[in-house]
Chain A
Amino acid sequence: MEWWNALHSLFNYDEKSMMLFNSGHFLYLFSAFFLIYAFIYKNVTVRLCYVIAFSLLFYYKSSGWYLFILLFSVILDYWVALVIYKAKNRSTAKAWLVISLVANVGLLAYFKYTNFFISNFNLLSGGDIEPLDLFLPIGISFYTFQTISYVVDVYQGKLKPVRNILDYTFYMTFFPHLVAGPIVRAKDFLPQVRQPLCFSTAVMGEGLYLILKGLVKKAIIADYISQYVDLVFDNPKAYSGFENLMAVYAYTLQIYFDFSGYSDIAIGIALWLGYRLVWNFNRPYISKNITEFWRRWHISLSSWLRDYIYIPLGGNRKGVGKQYIFLMLTMLIGGLWHGPSWKFVAWGGLHGLALAIHKLYHRYIGQAVGNTILHQAFGGFVTFHWVALLWVFFRASDFNIASQIFTQIFTQMDLSFIQPFVQVRYVFVSVLLIGYLFVFIPNSWKKLAEHISVKLPILAKAVCLLLVIGFIISLTTDEVKPFIYFQF
């Protein structure tokens, strides 16, 4: 009976037991899936249908019957792209583009922003409209942007629409990137869909390395340090300035490891299936200025915002003044994309401000100052701390908590707390230091680790995977922490 219940729970939707990459559910289901995949991958149609079925099950486990919203988007945009491509004149094509955008953005807005609008309306008008009991379908922000990019690319003539709905469904529902990115462009992924798959030792080894790296980053380091972050962000006033600062540094690491860990696992699993996804992070915390940071952080989103909002608005083609306005608007939209709250808008706006200031600086002062090592180090220090402080808006539940954190850091700083803090929280401090060491170690060392994982024999690979998974599920808390970016 127990076995039957366990089997039933693997396939049934449970709001409180969603399937995550670091959960037992996923391990079992993926193992079974992968075993069968290894025997059927050579037949393209069977392969596509099989992966789509698994992807839909994966999504169903995360969002239940909201799966049909995803399917609606897929079917609508597959059909609209074909209509746009065949349209006899530009205005017809534009009309269909608008229909697609309204439908997709409308769905996103409904599920994600309705209660935000209601609460702001109540605030402004003194009204008392009840918020709706809405459930945010997992990954809606990601797959909406993905489908918009496809339809817009077809409209602009950059891409021909796919003729087979299976191909488009495969692209949109491919489970590794479905719920938390990377936001994959059709031009990068669609050509891979029907290609003959070739599995080399190097690629499989790279996939294993990425999965192990992702699991360690997310399920060990990020989840562990989040315990301290949760404590401080719940009640910042109960902690000293130094402890608040440590929580800010910890969250800076947590969000990076959580998100990049997920991306690593997604890319690793995709490699095991024979597909290559785009990189989403490129060591963002070593950036020497804010512009560089946005080229290294959440690359798929920042490039999407650049290509589908900033450039269509006008980019740098309409003068310097308008460039800064477009930049700020793009970052505000980027902030709002992350969540229906003014604190995310503030986060985006402050990043936009920093980008504008950096552009001004680069235009008028940068050339004169030069690019010495000291200059780079100072730039890196300022950029890192600017980014870290802005993450407070991300994590704090509201502006009040965020202001308490800043107040504690800037008015209650007391360095005498360092010694007792390290004395009792030595494990936390060690994990934090190890985490930051991973962030700043040279790429060549990471390449060496990857090379080693490629060369290992099967049994050694199994032992490594076993150790990491066993370590994770034995030493973390009884409940599995979801990925931070799932809430977007």
Chain B
Amino acid sequence: MKINPLYQMVICLLIVVVSITIYSLYGSKYQLAGLSIDPPVLFAKSKLTRPYAKQINDTITSQSKVVTEQLPTPPLAKINLYKKPIIIDTSQGQRILMIGESMIEGLYLSLRPIAFYHHHKLKAQIWYGSTSIEWSKNDTLRKVLLWFKPSLVMVSIGANELSVRDISKREANIVNIIKQLQGYRYIWIGPPNWKKDSGIGDVLEGNIPENQYFRSRDLKYKRRRDGAHPTLASAHVWADTLSNWIMMKSAYPINLIKKPMAVKDTTTKNLKP
């Protein structure tokens, strides 16, 4: 008996809908060609930004002003046809230690799923409100390095020193921290300036090699209510950009590529301060 093609398509669609419904309600995750397929999320939300909503600027306080620093345009460079290519260390199980002040928090949450995917061990030692003084004068850094034995250290110190006046003393502290890191592979994550700093950024850039210093102040951030800390969404972008820089431009390129398909972060726990 030949069925009307329209009814054939209706039957086809019904089979699909029923199958998907049953699988979403009762199915469990399974592996297909190395990919982990979760039961589908029915009725997922879509995000369409309202293009003309009023600008509500509640993330930047009235005192602080974001000053965008214009980088000089580099001269027209020759196309570099042959340069020693970067070789990324794609081995799993790196031991990554993140140390610094509260800016680490958002980065840590964003990097956790990436580290998990590559079987890297990621630890964060956050000292809220700390500056280069605390990290230089105390032996916290030395103890943590001895305990964890990291293959890569990510340092984030400087965000609480944007307005300091004793810049030469801070420089001495920074030099001391770098000495403590001798023998360890480290990269320094510059502060994500929300205002023009009094020189800490230049001090850091002057003392740390270019391929070990990540210039966070070039990026744009949406800030939390304190006007300083990036929102979690901004921290994700910051972490993505940082990961790409580590892989492509840093002195210690390790594999930090995101999971190829969906990144469903079900393993993140909020840190308690």
Residue B268 at the A interface, CB < 8 A?
no
Say whether A131 contacts B12, CB under 8 Å: no
Known A-B contacts A115-B52, A240-B248; the reply to A420 vs B262 at CB < 8 A is no
Chain B residues with CB under 8 Å of A134's CB are 52
Contact among B23, B38, B219, B253 for A235, CB-based, below 8 A: B219
Question: Interface readout for A5-36 with B: 1 if CB under 8 Å, 0 if not?
Answer: 01001100011111010011101101100110
Chain B's nearest CB lies how many Å from the CB of A261?
Answer: 15
- Closest-by-CB residue of B relative to A27 is B17
Kindly state the separation between the CA atoms of A208 and B77 in the bound complex, as whole angstroms.
51
Mark out the residues of chain B between 53 and 98 whose CB falls within 8 Å of any chain A CB in the assembled complex: 53-55, 71, 73-77, 79-88, 90
Known A-B contacts A240-B248, A420-B86; the reply to A135 vs B52 at CB < 8 A is yes
Kindly state the separation between the CA atoms of A189 and B91 in the bound complex, as whole angstroms.
60
Contact among B43, B74, B82, B88 for A420, CB-based, below 8 A: B88
Chain A's nearest CB lies how many Å from the CB of B67?
Answer: 15
Say whether B248 contacts A421, CB under 8 Å: yes
Kindly state the separation between the CA atoms of A199 and B4 in the bound complex, as whole angstroms.
7
Stretch at the interface among B119-127, B193-201, B239-247: B239-247
Known A-B contacts A420-B88, A424-B257; the reply to A23 vs B237 at CB < 8 A is no
Contact among A18, A224, A473 for B48, CB-based, below 8 A: A18
Chain A's nearest CB lies how many Å from the CB of B237?
Answer: 6
Residue B183 at the A interface, CB < 8 A?
no
Say whether B74 contacts A16, CB under 8 Å: no
Chain B's nearest CB lies how many Å from the CB of A203?
Answer: 7
Chain A residues with CB under 8 Å of B79's CB are 413-415
Kindly state the separation between the CA atoms of A255 and B134 in the bound complex, as whole angstroms.
50
Kindly state the separation between the CA atoms of A35 and B9 in the bound complex, as whole angstroms.
9
Residue B16 at the A interface, CB < 8 A?
yes
Residue B144 at the A interface, CB < 8 A?
no
Chain B residues with CB under 8 Å of A31's CB are 13-14, 16-17
Chain A residues with CB under 8 Å of B241's CB are 231, 234-235, 238-239
Say whether B8 contacts A420, CB under 8 Å: no
Say whether A415 contacts B40, CB under 8 Å: no
Kindly state the separation between the CA atoms of A207 and B54 in the bound complex, as whole angstroms.
42
Say whether A480 contacts B218, CB under 8 Å: no
Chain A's nearest CB lies how many Å from the CB of B90?
Answer: 7
Say whether A234 contacts B220, CB under 8 Å: yes
Chain A residues with CB under 8 Å of B47's CB are 16, 479, 481-482
Residue B164 at the A interface, CB < 8 A?
no
Say whether A243 contacts B248, CB under 8 Å: yes
Chain B residues with CB under 8 Å of A425's CB are 257
Residue A373 at the B interface, CB < 8 A?
no
- Closest-by-CB residue of B relative to A458 is B8
Residue A410 at the B interface, CB < 8 A?
yes
Say whether B80 contacts A413, CB under 8 Å: yes
Kindly state the separation between the CA atoms of A18 and B84 in the bound complex, as whole angstroms.
49
Chain B's nearest CB lies how many Å from the CB of A48?
Answer: 17
Question: Interface readout for A223-242 with B: 1 if CB under 8 Å, 0 if not?
Answer: 01001000100110111100
Contact among B6, B7, B15, B257 for A466, CB-based, below 8 A: B15
Kindly state the separation between the CA atoms of A6 and B21 in the bound complex, as whole angstroms.
12
Question: Interface readout for B35-48 with A: 1 if CB under 8 Å, 0 if not?
Answer: 10111111111111
Q: How many A-B residue pairs have CB under 8 A?
A: 226
Mark out the residues of chain B between 215 and 240 whose CB falls within 8 Å of any chain A CB in the assembled complex: 218-220, 237, 240
Chain B residues with CB under 8 Å of A132's CB are 52, 54
Kindly state the separation between the CA atoms of A476 and B35 in the bound complex, as whole angstroms.
12
Contact among B4, B15, B76 for A462, CB-based, below 8 A: B15
Kindly state the separation between the CA atoms of A46 and B198 in the bound complex, as whole angstroms.
73
Say whether A415 contacts B41, CB under 8 Å: no
Say whether B46 contacts A427, CB under 8 Å: no
Interface size class of A (residues with CB under 8 A): 35 or more
Known A-B contacts A238-B241, A458-B12; the reply to A20 vs B77 at CB < 8 A is no
Kindly state the separation between the CA atoms of A470 and B257 in the bound complex, as whole angstroms.
25
Chain A residues with CB under 8 Å of B73's CB are 407, 411
Chain A residues with CB under 8 Å of B269's CB are none
Known A-B contacts A34-B10, A420-B86, A466-B19; the reply to A475 vs B248 at CB < 8 A is no
Say whether A420 contacts B248, CB under 8 Å: yes
Contact among A28, A200, A416, A478 for B83, CB-based, below 8 A: A416
Kindly state the separation between the CA atoms of A459 and B8 in the bound complex, as whole angstroms.
9
Residue B11 at the A interface, CB < 8 A?
yes
Contact among A18, A24, A133 for B42, CB-based, below 8 A: A24
Known A-B contacts A9-B43, A411-B73; the reply to A461 vs B12 at CB < 8 A is yes
Chain B residues with CB under 8 Å of A204's CB are 5-6, 8-9
Mark out the residues of chain A between 320 and 362 whose CB falls within 8 Å of any chain B CB in the assembled complex: 340
Chain A residues with CB under 8 Å of B90's CB are 423-424
Chain B residues with CB under 8 Å of A479's CB are 44-47
Chain A's nearest CB lies how many Å from the CB of B110?
Answer: 12
Say whether B9 contacts A478, CB under 8 Å: no
Question: Interface readout for A272-314 with B: 1 if CB under 8 Å, 0 if not?
Answer: 1000000000000000000000000000000000000000000
Mark out the residues of chain A between 100 and 135 whose CB falls within 8 Å of any chain B CB in the assembled complex: 114-115, 130-135
Say whether A477 contacts B262, CB under 8 Å: yes
- Closest-by-CB residue of A relative to B77 is A411
Contact among A28, A136, A414, A427 for B52, CB-based, below 8 A: A136
Say whether A473 contacts B16, CB under 8 Å: no
Kindly state the separation between the CA atoms of A461 and B8 in the bound complex, as whole angstroms.
9
Kindly state the separation between the CA atoms of A459 and B255 in the bound complex, as whole angstroms.
43
Residue A474 at the B interface, CB < 8 A?
yes
Kindly state the separation between the CA atoms of A470 and B51 in the bound complex, as whole angstroms.
32
Known A-B contacts A34-B10, A231-B244, A462-B15; the reply to A470 vs B86 at CB < 8 A is no
Say whether A200 contacts B5, CB under 8 Å: yes
Kindly state the separation between the CA atoms of A11 and B3 in the bound complex, as whole angstroms.
32
Chain B residues with CB under 8 Å of A424's CB are 88, 90, 247, 255, 257
Kindly state the separation between the CA atoms of A272 and B255 in the bound complex, as whole angstroms.
47
Say whether A131 contacts B52, CB under 8 Å: yes
Kindly state the separation between the CA atoms of A292 and B206 in the bound complex, as whole angstroms.
54
Chain A's nearest CB lies how many Å from the CB of B111?
Answer: 15
Say whether B249 contacts A240, CB under 8 Å: yes
Mark out the residues of chain B between 240 and 273 whose CB falls within 8 Å of any chain A CB in the assembled complex: 240-241, 244-245, 247-249, 253, 255, 257-258, 260-264
5 contacts between A and B (CB under 8 A): A16-B48, A131-B52, A420-B86, A427-B261, A470-B40
What 6 A-B pairs have minimum CB-CB distances, sorted nearest first? A480-B46, A473-B40, A462-B15, A427-B260, A199-B6, A416-B83
Give 7 new A-B contacts, CB below 8 A, not counting A23-B44, A24-B40, A199-B4: A10-B43, A16-B46, A16-B48, A199-B5, A201-B5, A417-B248, A462-B16
